[in-house]
Structure 1
Amino acid sequence: MIYTVTLNPSIDYIVHVEELKLGDLNRMTNDLKLPGGKGINVSRILKRIQAESTALGFLGGFTGTFISDWLAKEKIATNFTSVSEDTRINIKLKSETETEINGLGPAVSNEEMQELKQTLSMISAGDSVVLSGSTPATLREGFYEELIQIIKDKNAEFIIDTTGKDLLNALPQKPLLIKPNNHELAELFDVDFQTMEDILPFGERLLADGAQHVIISMAGDGALLFTKEGIYRSNVLKRPLKNSVGAGDSMIAGFVGTFAKKNDPIDAFKWGVACGSATAFSDDLASADLINELIDEVIIEKIR
């Protein structure tokens, strides 16, 4: 079984305004409310590629109910931990330029943290757990490490999609997959990349530090997969770009869902590229039809 953990989910409230005027009354042309949060996105894409998952994390209030109801409609299994405060709302304001206003997230008590850890402890050997995204400001430092320890004690695998200290601290525990983009990678090691070749030593360094597989996404330049057997690059699929939100989560879902079935990192990478690209070409997360349309267009080349 695959589990996803979203510690700071949200409702993403997408608002379109034709011409934004600050300090004045603006009327939206259309709006859309979607469940947000990186792990939740992973679960939604896993469902589209017929890989079952259970979504875990913290949900609270009427906003949390909106998210759990939405996932129930998509027939995605959930076992969220209830918190006393409302799940946050993130505003995505689309006008001449795009502006984002992200909520703080609820305060999470020690009792609620312990309840989530107890839920996670029900996993079994051979399961995979996707740990994704930011943490609420009130969550104690090192909480991801506490969750990783539970996963390791159960002889399960984990995937972590975060940045900075949380990512670096996870590497010695041998995550099945990490997926920084090229900008996050540069920030992680305080370097600048001028060419794709500049990236390669740092992807290899992440492997040496403990990651089993590393995907580095490079937006319009495709993506790289680093394994112990070699380095692989994908081609870039061509369609009008509509949406960058959730593309990385979709790539992780494609990889994890396929790897769980086939244990083949190259084929998993191929599905990851198809899923990530399909979301980038969609208004919301990718549809199963578009993923299946794109999969035959993905070409993976070994470059080292």
Structure 2
Amino acid sequence: MIYTVTFNPSLDYVVTMDKLNLGNINRAETETIYPGGKGINVALVLGNLGIPAKMLGFIAGFTGQEIEHLSRLYGGNCDFIKLDTGYSRINTKISADTETAVNGQGPSIPSEKLQRLMQQIDELHAGDILVLAGSIPADIPDDMYEQILQRLETRSIRTVVDATGELLRNVLKYKPFLIKPNQDELGEIFQVTLTTDEEIIYYAQRLQTEGAKNVLVSLGSKGALLIGENGTIYRQASPPGRLVNSVGAGDSMVAGFIAGYLHNGNVEEALRLGVCTGSASAFKNWLATKHDVSQVLLTL
């Protein structure tokens, strides 16, 4: 079974307009509400690809109820922990001449609820996959991802971590199966600007020497690079298509990679499916379906 953890889910209020005029009243041309959060996105795309995944995390208030309702509506298997106070956040995504986002803060998570999450994680079995994706709220320990991976260290559970900065780097000693920084995030870890494949490969390999088994670096419209567990370097270009919405594309890449790997354990095939799944989501208003991914695969 695959489990995803989203510490700070959201309702994503997505609006489109021709141009965003700051300081003035703007009227949306279209508006949609989706369940948001990187772990939720990964789980929903896996479900779209026919692979069951269970969503873990925290929800609060009427916004949390709607996150769970919409997640189930889109086929998600939810086991969220309900908080007694506060509200799950609302993130506003504006697609105009440029993409703009305003993200809410989210509720406080008390220690007893964190312990309930740890109990859920303790119930995982050998052979399961756990995906930790996204940031963590400011009021919980900043080593939370480390605490989780430490609990799983000897239990034959593969872990996938999609996070940034020290949150990602500090878990490498627990040898996650897969990490997925994007090009900018990889540069930020080492405080450098990366422009060439050679530079990206060098720093991705440094993360691998620190413990990561597979390092998947998303390159936006240029596709992705993978440093495989055996040290082999793979490069996959993006398929042709028009960017509609970049939100969830990276999460879709993670889901596609997991789906491809589970098919036959071939990381090169997993990379190809990951890039196509991420692109399929980027080419539409929201997350890709299996049909969307199949159509994109035909263009390679």
Deviation at 1:60, TM superposition (A): 1.2
> Where do residues 133-172 of structure 1 align in structure 2 (5 Å cutoff)?
133-172=134-173
Q: Deviations over 1:238-294 (max 9, x none)?
A: 111111111110000011122233222111111101101101111111122110112
CA distance in 2, matches of 1:208, 1:12: 37
Q: Distance in 2 between matches of 1:290 and 1:174?
A: 33
In structure 1, the partner of 2:81 is 81
Q: Secondary structure at the match of 1:140?
A: coil
Q: Is 1:126 matched up with 2:127?
A: yes
Query: Counterpart of 2:197?
Result: 196
Pair 20,268 (structure 1): closer, same or farther in 2 beyond 3 Å: closer
Shift of 1:19: 4.4
* Kept after mapping to 2: 8 A contact 1:81/1:116: yes
How far is 1:17 from its partner? 3.8
Q: Distance in 2 between matches of 1:47 and 1:175?
A: 23
TM-score normalised according to structure 1 size: 0.93
Distance apart, 1:39 and its partner CA: 0.4
What amino acid does structure 2 have at the position aligned with 1:4? T
Which whole-Å CA distance do the structure 2 matches of 1:257 and 1:4 have between them?
14
Q: Which residue of 1 aligns with 2:245?
A: 243
Distance in 1 (CA, whole Å) between partners of 2:195 and 2:117 is 42
Shift of 1:38: 0.3
**2:272 alignment partner AA:** K
Q: How many Å apart are 1:153 and its aligned residue?
A: 4.3
Distance 1:236 1:62 in 2: 39
Partner of 2:54: 54
- State the shift of 1:31 in Å: 0.8
- CA-atom RMSD, angstroms? 1.5
Indicate the residue corresponding to 1:15 in structure 2.
Answer: 15
Partners of 2:172 and 2:205 in 1: how far apart? 13
1:260 counterpart residue number = 262
The CA deviation string for residues 20-72 of structure 1, in whole angstroms up to 9 with x for no partner, is 44444333222110110000000011011111110101111111111111222
Mapping 1:177-216, distance limit 5 Å: 177-216=178-217
Contact 1:105 / 1:137 at 8 angstroms: preserved in 2? no
- The one-letter amino acid paired with 1:42 is V
SS for the counterpart of 2:213 is coil
Q: Percent identity?
A: 40
Structure 2 residue aligned with 1:94: 95
Partner Cα distance (1:16, 1:107) in 2: 31
Unaligned runs of 5+ in 2: none
Work out the number of aligned pairs and report it: 298
Residue 285 (structure 1) aligned to one of 284, 287, 290:
287
* 3-state SS of 2:13 partner: strand
TM, length-normalised to structure 2: 0.95
The residue type paired with residue 5 of structure 2 is V
Q: SS state of the match for residue 131, structure 1?
A: strand
Q: Partner residue of 1:302?
A: none
Deviations along 1:146-180, one digit per CA (max 9) or x if unpaired, are 11122224321100000111111111111110111
Q: Determine the structure 2 residue equivalent to 1:33.
A: 33
Please state whether the residue corresponding to 1:28 is helix, strand or coil. Answer: coil
SS of 2:200 mapped into structure 1: helix
Shift, 1:138, TM fit:
1.3
Residue 45 (1) aligns with residue 38 (2): no
1:269 aligns with one of 248, 268, 271: 271
The one-letter amino acid paired with 2:35 is P
Tell me the equivalent position of 1:67. Answer: 67
Q: Aligned with 2:29: secondary structure? A: strand
Cα distance per residue 1:103-123 (max 9 Å; x no partner): 011111011111111111110
